[in-house]
Amino acid sequence: MIKLIATDMDGTLVNNKGNINENIFELIHDFHDKNVKFVAASGRFYSQLNNNFKKVKGDMILIAHNGAVIKYNNNGKTLYTNAMKKEDMETVINYKFDLNGFVFLGGESTAYVIDPSKELLDKFAKSEVPVGLVNSLDDISVPIYKITYYIAEGASDEFVNNLRRSISDNLEVVVSGYNWVDVMNKGVAKGSAVKILQEKFEISSKNTMVFGDYYNDLSMFKVAHYSYAMKNAPEDVKQNANFIADSNDNDGVYKILSEYIKKLI
């Protein structure tokens, strides 16, 4: 029996118009009543995720910043955090790249930006993430969990490999979207976060179901027997999953979960 369900957001639970099927919120409530832990696992900020699921009546768990922050939704109780060290962050900030893009630092619910572009500020205005404008890392007094690059022309292998070679060995790089590259502490991953929850609640991989569509979801696939790649995922991502769900635009996650909940009623 499934005891833990974790789903990625963008490209998975969220469709290409940026919407979530409203019926999923009632499903989450039903799973809560059946003592099934429901988890959103994303590179998004905690504040974004909490807003995404404000219609959920019961408790659920939010994995933010690709696994660097794990908290409950309603009461905000923290289960786990893994913040970056200043000396490690400096190696990322000092990395120079000759591409059309920008970089920002992710606090729990605020994005911190040095020398912001109008494009970056516009993107955050649409996402409702507060932005803190700073001159240097010395101006930031809160924990930073992730540093993110947005590359307008797409994150090439060359960019990612050069970044990996240039930053601290204490950090790791993951491609989280076509345009997005995230840097976190080594060992931070969605799969590691799911593993923490499995151990806390004594749930095995055989009783875990996960959904994802991109490379930062592969670590989740490794810790769940019921690993679903979305139909819209790249082929090499699909090859790492045990099952395939319909696309995010066709409510793939909802279709699987609505069928499964019938077995619990």
When the pLDDT of each residue in the chain is averaged and rounded to a whole number, the result is: 93
Query: Domain residues of the chain, as ranges?
Result: 4-81+188-264, 86-184
pLDDT exceeds 80 at position 127: no
Looking at the domain 86-184, which fold is it? 3.30.1240
- pLDDT bin (cut points 50, 70, 90) of residue 265 is low
pLDDT exceeds 80 at position 51: yes
Mean pLDDT for the stretch of residues 41-49: 94
pLDDT exceeds 90 at position 155: no
- pLDDT bin (cut points 50, 70, 90) of residue 264 is confident
What is residue 121's predicted lDDT score, i.e. its pLDDT? 76
Measured at the alpha carbon of residue 97, what is the angle toward residues 94 and 103, in degrees to the nearest 5? Answer: 65
| Percentage of the chain exceeding pLDDT 70 | 100
Q: Which residue has the higher pLDDT, 213 or 124?
A: 213
Common-topology check for domains 4-81+188-264 and 86-184: no
Q: What architecture (CATH level 2) is domain 4-81+188-264?
A: 3-Layer(aba) Sandwich (3.40)
What is residue 99's predicted lDDT score, i.e. its pLDDT? 72
Task: Map residue 49 onto helix, strand or coil.
Answer: helix
pLDDT digits (tens, 9 = 90+) for 157-211: 999 999 999 999 999 999 988 999 999 999 999 999 999 999 999 999 999 999 9
pLDDT exceeds 90 at position 122: no
pLDDT exceeds 90 at position 126: no
30 is written with which tokens?
Answer: 């039903």
pLDDT digits (tens, 9 = 90+) for 225-234: 999 999 999 9
- pLDDT bin (cut points 50, 70, 90) of residue 237 is very high
- pLDDT bin (cut points 50, 70, 90) of residue 260 is very high
pTM: 0.93
What is residue 258's predicted lDDT score, i.e. its pLDDT? 97
265, with CB counted inside 10 A (0-12, 13-18, 19+), is: exposed
Angstrom distance (rounded) from CA 35 to CA 41: 19
67 is written with which tokens?
Answer: 């696994």
- pLDDT bin (cut points 50, 70, 90) of residue 235 is very high
Q: Give the type of residue at 225.
A: H
Angstrom distance (rounded) from CA 51 to CA 114: 26
